[in-house]
A and B are shown apart, each in its own frame.
Chain A
Amino acid sequence: MSAELAAALAAEEAAIYAYGALGVHLTRDTDRDAARAAEQIHRARRDVLISRLAELNASTAPAPAGYDLPFPVTDRATALRLAVHVEDGVAQAWRATLPVTTGPDRATALSALTDAAVRATRWRRTAGITPLTMPFPGRPS
């Protein structure tokens, strides 16, 4: 279980970095508020994972100082695409924890998966990307 939770932690840390990088390109207040709220949730999930991994005596790699973004983020459109991309990635990482978790850990994973998928849908709507939904959020593509 620790390996999967550590991968979820890495995805949450990448999401926090990405929201920092994309936030400056969001020009509308509503977009910026949504990005800030999302970043806060990713920070909270990260903190939960760090404590849980500490309880399990699992070692975790320190978060990298920087990341290579999957594509250049230069304006609102690419910023919104990155937001969709990171939420899809977070959903995948949490889904991978489901088979190895039970009880409260599984409940956390289920709500993290659903939350990320719902935020991805919101960002798609904001960006005008269709379809808004995918049949199996979190399933590796």
Chain B
Amino acid sequence: MGRRTGISRRRALGLTAGATVALTAPAGCGLFDTEPEPLPEPDPLQPILDEALALATAFDRAAAAQPTLTARLLPLAEDHRAHAIELARVIGTAAASAAPSASAAPVAPTPAGLRAAEQAAARTATTAARTAPPERVGLLGSIAACRATHAEALRS
């Protein structure tokens, strides 16, 4: 019974399990001052931004490796960079400091590999758009459509 009360008090204080350490901190340290900052929830647009950055890099790499494809691939890389800038603006981070594409799958820098990556990325953006709030859904819908047009443009 006493245990349950303790837990419910912690809940009532809004403390996480990790924060209970602060309760045993020496007096003098403010009880709430030492509470660690909770990790902010990642923005639901972050995976879309990660994909945009990974795709831009993959297109740059493919264009550098195959100069005959440069004219075809560089405009697509530019589209992804435009997406990254807009997404970062909406999320509220600087595009330059946007997280590296840790969560995005590596992309094989070949037309077939790029095409598969675009199809997967179009699905991610479409899924996010289905439940996005009104002020974000237009951007997500356009990004999903753009990625699908890239997959089309990469057809041989």
Whole-angstrom distance between the alpha carbons of A41 and B78 in the complex? 31
Whole-angstrom distance between the alpha carbons of A98 and B78 in the complex? 25
Instruction: Count B interface residues, CB 8 Å.
Output: 27
- Most-contacted residue by chain B among A100, A120, A134 (CB, 10 A): A134
Residues of A within 8 A of B143 (CB): 136
Which of A55-63, A71-79, A105-113 interfaces with chain B? A105-113
The answer to whether B75 and A131 have CB atoms under 8 Å apart is yes
Q: Enumerate B127-155 residues with CB–CB distance to A below 8 Å.
A: 129-130, 134-135, 137-139, 141-146, 148-150, 152-153
Residues of A within 8 A of B75 (CB): 130-133
Q: Enumerate A88-108 residues with CB–CB distance to B below 8 Å.
A: 91, 95-96, 98-100, 106-107
Residues of A within 8 A of B117 (CB): none
The answer to whether A139 and B137 have CB atoms under 8 Å apart is no
Instruction: Count A interface residues, CB 8 Å.
Output: 29
Residues of B within 8 A of A120 (CB): 149
Residues of B within 8 A of A122 (CB): 152
CB of B79 within 8 A of chain A? yes
Residues of B within 8 A of A125 (CB): 153
- Most-contacted residue by chain A among B75, B76, B79, B149 (CB, 10 A): B149
Kindly list the 4 A-B residue pairs having the minimum CB-CB distance in the complex, ordered from nearest.
A99-B134, A117-B145, A135-B82, A136-B142
B residues whose Cβ falls under 8 Å from a Cβ of A = 75-76, 78-79, 82-83, 86, 122, 126, 129-130, 134-135, 137-139, 141-146, 148-150, 152-153
